[in-house]
Structure 1
Amino acid sequence: MTDIPRRTVQRTAKLASLPIGVAGRVAAGWGKRLVGRSAEEVSAEVSAKTAEQVFAVLGQLKGGAMKFGQALSVFEAAVPDELAAPYREALTKLQSAAPPMPTRAVHRVLAEQLGRSWARRFAEFDDTPAAAASIGQVHRAVWHDGREVAVKVQYPGADEALLADLRQLQRFSRLFQALVPGTEVKPLLEELRDRMAEELDYRGEADSQRAFAAAFDGDPRVRVPRVVASAPKVMVTEWVSGRPLSRIIQDGERAERDAAGRLLAEFHFSSPARSGLLHADPHPGNFMLLDDGRLCVIDYGAVARLPHGLPRTLGLMVRLALRGQSEELLQLLRDERFVRPGTELDAEEVLAYLSPFVDPMRSERFRFSRRWLQSQVERIGDLQGRDFHTGRSLNLPPNYLMIHRVTFGAIGIMCQLDAEVPAREIVARWQPGFADDEPSAG
Structure 2
Amino acid sequence: MSDLPRSAAARALKLAGLPFGIAGRATLGLTKRLGGKPAEAVAEELQRRTADQLFKVLGELKGGAMKFGQALSIFEAALPEQLAEPYRATLTKLQDSAPPMPASTVHRVLAEELGPNWRRRLRKFEDVPAAAASIGQVHKARWTDNREVAVKIQYPGAAKALRSDLNQIARVAGLFGALFPGVEVKPLIEELKARVGEELDYEHEAEAQRGFAKAYADDPEIAVPRVLFQTPRVLVTDWLDGRPLSDVIAHGTQAERDHAGLLFVRFLFSGPDRAGLLHADPHPGNFRITPDGRLGVLDYGLVARLPDGFPRHIGTLLRVGMSGDFETVVEGLRREGFIRAGVEIQPEDLYEYLNPFIDPAREKTFKFSREWMRTQFQRITDIRGGSMAMKINLPPSYLLIHRVWSSGVGVLAQLGAEAPFRGELERWLPGFVDDPADEERDLVDA
| Alignment TM-score, normalising by the size of structure 2 | 0.94
320-329 or 31-40, which deviates more: 31-40
Secondary structure (helix, strand or coil) at the match of 2:146 reads coil
Query: Are the aligned partners of 1:67 and 1:134 in contact in 2 as well (CA < 8 Å)?
Result: yes
Correspondence for 1:108: 108
Q: Partner residue of 2:215? A: 215
Superimposed CA distance per residue, residues 69-128 of structure 1 (whole angstroms, 9 cap, x where no aligned partner)? 111111111111111122110111111221111111111100110111111112311111
Residue among 407, 411, 414 paired with 2:412: 414
Report the number of matched residues: 440
For 1:2 and 1:262, locate their aligned partners in 2 and report how far apart those are by CA, in whole Å: 41
Letter in 1 for 2:186: K
CA, structure 1 residues 245+331, in 2 after alignment: closer, same or farther (shift >3 Å)? same
* Matching residue of 1:133: 133
Over 3 Å counting, the alpha-carbon distance change for 1:228 and 1:32 in structure 2 is same
Q: Please name the residue that 2:386 is paired with.
A: 388
Query: What is the CA–CA distance in structure 1 between the aligned matches of 2:45 and 2:314, rounded to whole Å?
Result: 40
Query: Per-residue deviation at 1:17?
Result: 1.9
Give the corresponding residue for 1:227: 227
Once residues 148 and 87 of structure 1 are traced to their aligned partners in structure 2, the CA distance between those partners, rounded to angstroms, is 36
Q: For residues 302 and 429 of structure 2, what CA distance do their matches in structure 1 show?
A: 21
For residues 271 and 353 of structure 2, the distance between their equivalents in structure 1, rounded to whole angstroms, comes to 28
In structure 2, what is the equivalent of residue 398 of structure 1? 396
- Which AA in structure 2 matches 1:312? R
Name 2:373's counterpart in structure 1. Answer: 373
Deviation at 1:304, TM superposition (A): 1.1
Give the conservation status (yes or no) of the 8 Å contact 1:357–1:376.
no
Amino acid at match of 2:286: N
Distance in 2 between the 1:2 and 1:109 partners?
13
- Report the AA paired with residue 185 of structure 2: V
Evaluate the alpha carbon distance shift between residue 332 and residue 42 of structure 1 in structure 2; reply closer, same or farther with a 3 A threshold. farther
Q: Measure, in 2, the Cα distance between the counterparts of 1:291 and 1:339.
A: 46
CA distance in 1, matches of 2:267, 2:428: 10
**Alignment map for 1:26-175 (pairs within 5 Å):** 26-32=26-32, 34=34, 42-175=42-175
Q: Give SS of 1:77's match.
A: helix
Partners of 1:343 and 1:280 in 2: how far apart? Answer: 29
CA drift of 1:33 comes to: 5.0
Tell me which amino acid in the other structure corresponds to 2:417: A
Question: Would the aligned equivalents of 1:368 and 1:419 in 2 still touch at CA under 8 Å?
Answer: yes
The answer to which of 430-439 and 402-411 deviates more is: 430-439
Amino acid at match of 2:130: A
Cα-to-partner distance string for 1:347-387 (whole Å, 9 max, x where unaligned): 2332344345311111111011111111111111123xx34
What is the CA–CA distance in structure 1 between the aligned matches of 2:308 and 2:159, rounded to whole Å? Answer: 32
Q: Given that residues 51 and 179 in structure 1 are in contact (C-alpha distance below 8 angstroms), is that contact kept between their aligned partners in structure 2?
A: no
Q: How does 1:261-276 map to 2 (within 5 A)?
A: 261-276=261-276
In structure 2, C-alpha distance between the alignment counterparts of 1:224 and 1:2, rounded to whole Å: 32
Change (3 A) 1:41 1:337: farther
1:296 partner SS: strand
Q: Distance in 1 between matches of 2:37 and 2:316?
A: 50
Structural mapping, 1:343-358, within 5 Å: 343-355=343-355, 357-358=357-358
Cα deviation for residue 53 of structure 1 reads: 1.1
- For residue 330 of structure 1, report the CA deviation from its aligned partner: 1.6
Cα displacement string for residues 186-219 of structure 1 (whole angstroms, at most 9, x for unaligned residues): 1111111111111112111111100110011111
1:264 deviates by 0.2
Are 1:431 and 2:423 counterparts? no
State the match for 1:322 in structure 2: 322
CA distance in 2 between counterparts of 1:104 and 1:389 reads 52
TM superposition shift of 1:25: 2.2
State the 1:41 CA deviation: 5.8
Q: 1:19 to 1:352 in 2, by over 3 A?
A: closer
Ranges in structure 2 where 5+ consecutive residues have no aligned partner: none
Identical amino acids, percent of aligned pairs: 56
Does 1:359 pair with 2:368? no
Deviation at 1:4, TM superposition (A): 7.4
Q: Report deviation, 1:10.
A: 2.3
In the TM superposition, structure 1's runs of 4+ consecutive aligned residues that sit over 4 Å from their partners are: 1-6, 32-45
Secondary structure of the residue aligned to 1:49 is helix
Q: Provide closer, same or farther for how the CA distance between residues 217 and 391 of structure 1 changes in structure 2, counting only shifts above 3 A.
A: same
Inter-CA distance 2–282: structure 2 relative to 1 (3 Å threshold):
closer
State whether residues 6 and 61 of structure 2, in contact with CA within 8 Å, keep that contact through their aligned partners in structure 1: no
Unpaired runs of 5+ residues, structure 1, are: none
Deviations 1:200-240 (A, max 9, x none): 12111111100110011111110100001101111100001
Q: Which moved more, 1:107-116 or 1:342-351?
A: 342-351
- Contact 2:47–2:86 (8 Å) recurs in 1: no
Kept in 1, the 8 Å contact 2:369–2:413? The answer is yes
In the alignment, what sits opposite 1:179? 179
The equivalent of 1:309 in structure 2 is 309
Counterparts of 2:169 and 2:277, CA distance in 1: 28
Q: Does the 8 Å contact 2:269/2:429 carry over to 1?
A: yes
| Partners of 1:135 and 1:352 in 2: CA distance | 37
Q: Are the counterparts in 2 of residues 321 and 355 from structure 1 also a CA contact under 8 Å?
A: no
Bigger mean CA offset, 166-175 vs 348-357 = 348-357
TM-superposed deviation, 1:158: 1.0
> Counterpart in 1 of 2:333?
333
- Contact 1:379 / 1:388 at 8 angstroms: preserved in 2? no
Per the TM alignment, residue 408 of structure 1 is displaced from its structure 2 partner at its CA by 1.1
Offset, 1:3: 6.8
Aligned partner of 1:20 in structure 2 is 20
TM-score by length of structure 1 reads 0.94
Q: SS where residue 183 of structure 1 aligns?
A: coil
